[in-house]
Structure 1
Amino acid sequence: MDTAKPERSTLMDPDESPILNKSQRLTRISHLLYHNPHGLTTRELAKLCRVDQRTIQRDLHDLEEMGIPLWESEEAPRRYGILKGYYLPPIHLELPEAVALYLAGRLLARYSDRFDTHTVSALAKLANVLPDPMAAHMHATIQRLAIRQRDAQVEQIMEILATAWASQRGVRIQYRGAQSEEPHAYDLWPYFLEASGEGNAVYVIGWVTQVNDLRTFKVERILEARLTEETFEPPEDFDGPKLLDSCWGIMYDKKAEKVTLRFAPSATRRIQETVWHPSQGLEVLPDGGCLLRLEIAHPEEMIYWIRGWGSQVEVLEPAWLREQIAAEAKATAILYEGGKG
C-alpha cells in the first residue's frame, strides 16, 4: 500500500479551522479522507479537527457504522482513508443535460416498486439544482415514492454491490435462485449492475470464482452480501453494454436467434417510432403492415412484449416461439368463450 504523505495543499491549517460539533466534524473527516487518497493518521486528523486522537478514533468508528467504507493501512503509523470511488465529485449541468437527468429520474421512479432511500436522496439532490417548474415535479415524484414500502435489506445489498463495483472488490453473496428453495454461496467479482424494465428488477453481472465464468444474479434474490478483502480487475476487453447487445432484456449469449414479427397496419406507425433493438430491420408491406426482423439471444424474454400487441402481431419465426404464442392465444380464446353467458 502506498503510504506517501498527501500534498500539504490539501490540508487546511488547523488554526483556520473552527471548533466543530460532532456532526460537522464527521462531515469534515469524510471530506478530508476523500481529498487525501493516501490517507491520514489519527494524529493528523486530530490536529485538523482540533480534538484529541481518541475522539477521532470514535469518529472513525461512527463513520463505519454509518456505512462509509474506510480502509486502514497495516504499517505504523496507521493511516485511514475512504475506498476509491465511494464519493463522486460535483458536476455542473446545462439545462438540456438537467432535463435528461430529470427524465431518467422519472423513469426510475415509475419503475421503482419500493421506497429506496438512495433513490429518494439522489432525486432530492437533483431537484435542488433544477429550475423551479421541473423541481416541483421532481418533489412530487419523491412524495409518491415516500408512500411505498421500504426494503432495507435490498437497500443494504445494493450499497454493498455498488461499493464492490466502484472499488473493484470481491463480494460474498448468499443467493436463492427462482427455482431453488435453499440459498447458495458465491464469491462474486461484480463487473457491473444493470436495470431491466421487465419485472422492474436490477441485476449484477460478474465473475464467479466457483464456476470460473460470468454469471447474472437478480439483486432482489440476494439474501446476504458482504465485502471481502479480495480485489480484481475485469479483462481489458470486457464490455458490459456490448455483452447485452443481443439481449432483449438481461439474458445474454454468444448465439442469437432470428425473430421475425408481422405487424398489422394499425401498429405500423407505432413500430416505426421506436428503435426496439440494435439488430432490428424494418420493412413496410404493401398492405400497410410491416415486418420487424431481429436477432435476439433468448427470445423467450420477448414473450411478455409480444403478448401486449395482441392480435396486431404474428410471430413468423422461430417456430417454437410461434407455436407457444399460438397455443397461448387458443387458451385465452377458450377462457373468454367459457365466460359467456
Structure 2
Amino acid sequence: MKSFEHVYRLHRLMKRSRYPVPFERVMAELECSRATTKRVLAYLRDVLGAPLESSREPRGYHYSDAAYELPGFWFSAEELQSLLSLQQLLASFQPGLLDEALDPLRERLNQILKSQHLQTGQASRIRLLRAAARPPGAHFATLAAAVLQRKRVRIDYQARGKSERSAREISPQRLVHYRDNWYLDAWCHRAMGLRTFAVDCVCEAQLLDSAAQELPDTQLDEALGGSYGIFSGAPSATAVLRFAASRAPWVAAETWHPQQQGVWLPDGRYELSVPYHRDEELILDILRYGPEVEVLGPLALRMAVSKRLTQAAAQYR
C-alpha cells in the first residue's frame, strides 16, 4: 500500500468516527507497523494541516474540526479504479455522447493511476450489453442544457409511427434514461400539459432565452411516475398477473413498479398487482413470459393479451 493510501485511510477513519480512535485501532486500520503509523499521523497533522488532536480520556485521536477535507484530489486505489471503470462504462453506455467532455477527466485519472503503479486497462473486462437501444439523436446536448439551465426549448417533433411533424414550445423538467433510451419529461405549452418525448424523435431543437415553467416534484411524480412504464398519467387500473411456479422466484425479485404488490400462493405460484394507465408497454412485458403468466384482470387487459397471443400463434399455423 502506498503512503498516500495510508493518509487517505487515516483521514476516512477520523471523518467517520464520532469518538477518539485508539492508536491500536489506527494501526490495525492502516495495516502497518507502529513506527509507520506514527509517521502517517505526523504527516497528516504537520504537513497536510489536519486538525488532528489526541485526548487522554477517552484515549485516542480525533478531528477538532469535522469539516476538514484533504487538499487536492484524494481517492483510494479502489475508488480511482472504480471511477475509471465507471467513466469507460458511461462511454459504452451511450457511445460518443460525452467523450469530448470526459476526455480531460479520463486523462487525469489515468495519470493518477499510473503514478500509483495501478493498471488502467482493465475496465474492458466489464461488459455492458444494450438491447433495442436507439441513438439519442443530434439534439440531446441542447435538451440536456435546457433541463439544467431551466430554459424553454422550441422543438419539431415527429412521433414514432406518424408522418407529420409538430412544432412545440416546451419547458423541460427531467431527462429520463429508460430501457437504454432517452426521454424528456416536459410541460408542453401547446397542449398545456405534461408530456413525455422520445429524445431521438426530436427533429429540431432551439434553446430559448425565456425561463422554463417550473413544476413541483410532487406534481411530476404524480403525473409521470404513478403508472407503469414510461407512459404518463395517473393510474386508471391495476393489472393482476399470476405467474407459474417455475417463473415465480424471478418475478418476485423484480420491481415492475414502486407501488406493486405481490402475493405468494400455496402452490408456489406468484400474483403480482401493478398500477397502470396505458397498456401498450405492459402488454409487451406480459407477452415476454408466454405460457408462464396469466392475466387475471382487468378484463380489457386480459382480452388484449389474449388477442395478441392469438394473432402471434396464427403466424405459425
State the TM-score bracket (shorter-chain normalisation).
0.5 to 0.7
Query: Which string of whole-angstrom CA distances, capped at 9 and with x for unpartnered residues, describes residues 247-300 of structure 1?
Result: 322112123311100000000111122222111111111211111112122232
1:186 maps to which of 168, 178, 182: 168
Query: Which string of whole-angstrom CA distances, capped at 9 and with x for unpartnered residues, describes residues 150-209 of structure 1?
Result: 96x924x11111111111111111111224322121111111111221xx4211111222
**Within-5 A mapping of 1:189-208:** 189-197=171-179, 200-208=180-188
1:317 maps to which of 293, 297, 300: 297
In the other structure, the counterpart of 2:145 is: 163
Normalised by the length of structure 1, the TM-score is: 0.58
**Within-5 A mapping of 1:17-166:** 106=89, 109=92, 112=94, 115-118=95-98, 122=102, 125=105, 129=109, 136-138=122-124, 154-155=137-138, 157-166=139-148
Say if 2:154 and 2:169, in contact at 8 Å, map to a contact too.
yes
In the other structure, the counterpart of 1:172 is: 154
**Cα separation, partners in 2 of 1:106 and 1:273, compared to 1, 3 Å:** farther
SS at match of 1:324: helix
Indicate yes or no: 2:241 matched with 1:264: no
In the other structure, the counterpart of 1:37 is: none
1:286 maps to which of 236, 251, 266: 266
In the other structure, the counterpart of 2:201 is: 221
Structure 2: any 5+ residue segments left out of the alignment?
Answer: 1-71
How many residue pairs align between the two structures? 237
Q: Distance in 1 between matches of 2:107 and 2:259?
A: 37
2:215 maps to which of 190, 214, 235: 235
1:255 maps to which of 224, 235, 255: 235
Q: Distance in 1 between matches of 2:157 and 2:294?
A: 38
Q: Distance in 2 between matches of 1:102 and 1:234?
A: 36
Q: Distance in 2 between matches of 1:314 and 1:270?
A: 16
In the other structure, the counterpart of 1:296 is: 276
SS at match of 2:256: coil
1:275 maps to which of 255, 259, 278: 255
The residue type equivalent to 1:171 in the other structure is V
Q: Aligned-pair distance for 1:108?
A: 8.1
In the other structure, the counterpart of 1:83 is: none
Structure 1: any 5+ residue segments left out of the alignment?
Answer: 1-89
Please tell me whether Structure 1 or Structure 2 has the larger radius of gyration of its CA atoms.
Answer: 2
Query: Which string of whole-angstrom CA distances, capped at 9 and with x for unpartnered residues, describes residues 122-172 of structure 1?
Result: 499469649767852258769x99xxxx96x924x1111111111111111
Q: Distance in 1 between matches of 2:246 and 2:108?
A: 43
**Cα separation, partners in 2 of 1:107 and 1:116, compared to 1, 3 Å:** closer
Q: Aligned-pair distance for 1:333?
A: 2.8
Identity of aligned residues (%): 24
Say if 1:127 and 1:134, in contact at 8 Å, map to a contact too.
no
SS at match of 1:185: strand
Say if 1:177 and 1:221, in contact at 8 Å, map to a contact too.
yes
Q: Distance in 2 between matches of 1:290 and 1:284?
A: 5
The residue type equivalent to 1:262 in the other structure is R
Normalised by the length of structure 2, the TM-score is: 0.62
Say if 1:192 and 1:204, in contact at 8 Å, map to a contact too.
yes
The residue type equivalent to 1:190 in the other structure is P
Say if 2:231 and 2:278, in contact at 8 Å, map to a contact too.
yes
**Cα separation, partners in 2 of 1:154 and 1:323, compared to 1, 3 Å:** same
Q: Distance in 1 between matches of 2:176 and 2:84?
A: 17
Q: Distance in 1 between matches of 2:84 and 2:299?
A: 41
